[in-house]
Amino acid sequence: MAGTVFVSVTMSLDGFMAPEEVSVQEVFSPEGRNSPAARRWMAKWSELQAWVFPLRFFRENTGIGEGGEEGRDNDIARATHERIGANIMGKRMFDGGALAWPENAPFHTPVFVVTHEKRDPWERPGGTTFHFVNDGIEAALEQARVAAGERDVRISGGAETILQFLDAGLVDELSITLAPVLFGSGIRLFEGVDDSRVALKQVHAEPSATVTHLTYSVHRP
């Protein structure tokens, strides 16, 4: 039986999942990361993701080291990762991550990158292999389902890719970690969503000391 297709992201209280768009080379390359725009971007991104950085699971999964905070946030982060059999992402997310992720990339599953670029699979240590899919989101999902088996498929990002899957009716579940920060501007998760094609039903809500975890089932109106 095929697993669930789900989205799991952190979002600001005013609806943004990333700061204003800055080129990935400027944010993540050694040459650009000290520019004022890149520093502003990283400061806001770090504020958004501050709940996850201290967690034991995050430290283990990224190879930072032992230790870290335990508790409900840690349990949720670990459980989310353990359910994933394959990831899907867009080209922009991949380009940024390729500059920022450690050599042992933090997915540890097959990752299917929706792109027009043709290239061979890129295998990283720790079980992560990036596959580049040139014929659309449906093809990427079909390959990801096969790779995941009975486990779940996560649509990892970015916002444009998530929106394509939502509007196409290809997402079963949406999990949002709502962080108590305000961006004012940036990349909205639901910018331009087709509300005639997407409806949500809340199935779980759980606050912690730092964030609120929200889970919705996704269906057609």
Say which CATH architecture domain 5-219 belongs to.
3-Layer(aba) Sandwich (3.40)
Which pTM was predicted?
0.94
Residues 48, 19: Cα–Cα separation, whole Å: 9
pLDDT of 49 higher than 90? yes
| pLDDT 10s digits, 141-167 | 999 999 999 999 999 999 999 999 999
| pLDDT 10s digits, 6-44 | 999 999 999 999 998 887 677 777 777 778 888 898 899
Q: Are 12 and 181 in contact (CB under 8 A)?
A: yes
Domain positions in the chain are 5-219
